[in-house]
Amino acid sequence: MRIDWLHFTPGSSLLGGILLGIAAGVLFLNSGRILGITGILEGLFKPTRVDSPWRLTFLLGLFASPLVAKLMLPADLLHAPRIDANWAMVIVAGLLVGFGTRWGAGCTSGHGICGLSRLSVRSLVATLSFMGTGFITVFVIRHLL
């Protein structure tokens, strides 16, 4: 195995994980809600006056955060990811992720962060499934195609 040291980012990955864990804990302790993006977005399709404001605020923060980072962080810390795929492949991948999220009753953040921390067996199976599928896909694309 060879590590791509140019793109290996353990510091920012660790910081991102810590921030996600804190956000998930704060949301759960304050409202009993799970920090699953799919569930948060899905709740907007059945809006209630009590539920919609925090969901909209959360999603607005999610979409605004890159702009805030661009305004506050030095330019050498910000790098846009390079995606080596055409638009058709990106759209198909997005549809497959959406299908898997629906089929698995939740997304990676809901199962991987919140479900595992609550010791949910369903989340363990889901997390092992999507991680295993990702590992196999990368192996096939890099070594067999």
Residues spanned by the domain of 77: 10-144
- Number of domains observed in the structure of the chain: 1
Where helices occur in the chain by DSSP H, the ranges are 10-31, 37-42, 52-72, 87-103, 108, 116-117, 121-139
Structural domain contains residue 139: yes
The answer as to whether 3 is a domain residue is no
Q: How confident is the model at residue 136 (pLDDT cuts 50, 70, 90)?
A: very high
Note whether residue 136 is domain-resident. Answer: yes
Rg from Cα positions in the chain: 17
Neighbours of 104 (CB within 10 A): 19
pTM of the shown model:
0.71
Rounded distance, CA 115 to CA 95, Å? 23
Percent of the chain, pLDDT > 70? 97
**Residue 103 belongs to some domain of the structure:** yes
Tokens of 90: 């990106």
Q: What is the pLDDT of residues 24-69, one digit of tens each?
A: 889 889 988 888 888 888 888 887 888 888 899 989 998 998 899 8
